[in-house]
Amino acid sequence: MGTLKDVSLRNRLSRRQIGSGLLATAASICLPAAASAAVDKESRKSGTFVLVPGAFHGGWCYGRTAKLLRDRGHIVFTPTLSGLAERAHEFSGNINLSTHIEDVVNLIRVEQLNQVVLCGHSYGGMVITGIGSTIAEKIAAIVYLDAFLPSDNQSLFDIIGPEGRQRFLDSAGKLGGIGVAPFTAEYMRVNEGDRAWVDRLCTKHPIATFIEKVNSTSAVEHIPRKHYIMAENFGFQWAFDKIKDRPGWTRETVKCGHDVMIDDPGFLANRLESLLA
């Protein structure tokens, strides 16, 4: 017969065993839901996204959208183009559109990326057109995000016309002739809460990138999925209309300012994800 101490110890052990049994039972009851969540995560198709910023911006502008996509298990690259943002120290008059196209083409090749969902914002539309024309076989979907949509042998200067071109030239004249000062966040209709942040991070842009023409755009038409997103609160209606009846294209609008990835990152993440094969 055990002592009172032994009985007390046995009672404590019994309570622990019962408690452990209850916990195990509870865990087994919860297991199907947990397993279901794991299956859902596993069944979601993982994709690769390359998000190209527009003029004056760096990869930072896609930070919110990139986080949403990465949290869902996707691979996301947000390259900053030569001479901008954290690469502003590389700024020079020798940086042109070909330089920026090569920035991203080299990224895709070195990282050995395939089946890429490629997105370009604003001026980035010029860049992704050049990328699509160079390595179309690696691109599964191309997305123009309130972006320039050039035709063959067109530069950004050709698209914006004499008045817009003169505005850029006047700006460059105040910066030594080779760089254009960034537009204000207010002009781009960025939401008021983010305007100071965007103005602080935008940097001057190499003017030669606006002068160089895109030679050919035909290869882009062979990319399986082509989509245009227009920000209702800005002004790329002309590009939106351009692909209205073009075979193989889809299009939509979103009610926000020009920097869609800042104003509505959730919308953009969902739309990009929906374009996975």
* CA distances, 259 to each of 17, 81, 127, 145 (Å): 59, 17, 17, 9
Strand 75-77 and strand 116-121: the pairing is unpaired
Q: Minimal CA–CA distance to 222: which of 134, 150, 111? A: 134
- pLDDT of res. 44: 59
How many residues comprise the chain? Answer: 277
* CA distances, 69 to each of 73, 266, 272 (Å): 7, 9, 9
Compute the distance between CA of residue 173 and CA of residue 103 in angstroms, rounded to an integer: 27
- pLDDT of res. 277: 73
- pLDDT of res. 10: 42
- pLDDT of res. 35: 35
CATH class of domain segment(s) 47-274: alpha beta
Tokens in use for 173? Answer: 């004249």
pLDDT in tens, the chain (277 residues): 444 334 343 444 344 343 444 333 333 333 333 333 333 444 557 999 999 999 999 999 999 999 999 999 999 999 999 999 999 999 999 999 999 999 999 999 999 999 999 999 999 999 999 999 999 999 999 999 999 999 999 999 999 999 999 999 999 999 999 999 999 999 999 999 999 999 999 999 999 999 999 999 999 999 999 999 999 999 899 999 999 999 999 999 999 999 999 999 999 999 999 999 7
14 belongs to the catalytic site: no
For the chain, domain boundaries: 1-43, 47-274
- pLDDT of res. 169: 96
- pLDDT of res. 45: 77
Helix, strand, or coil (residue 144) = strand
Q: Minimal CA–CA distance to 91: which of 56, 48, 139? A: 56
Compute the distance between CA of residue 123 and CA of residue 146 in angstroms, rounded to an integer: 9
> Active-site residue among 20, 43, 46, 122?
122
**Helix, strand, coil fractions of the chain, as percent rounded to 5:** 50, 15, 35
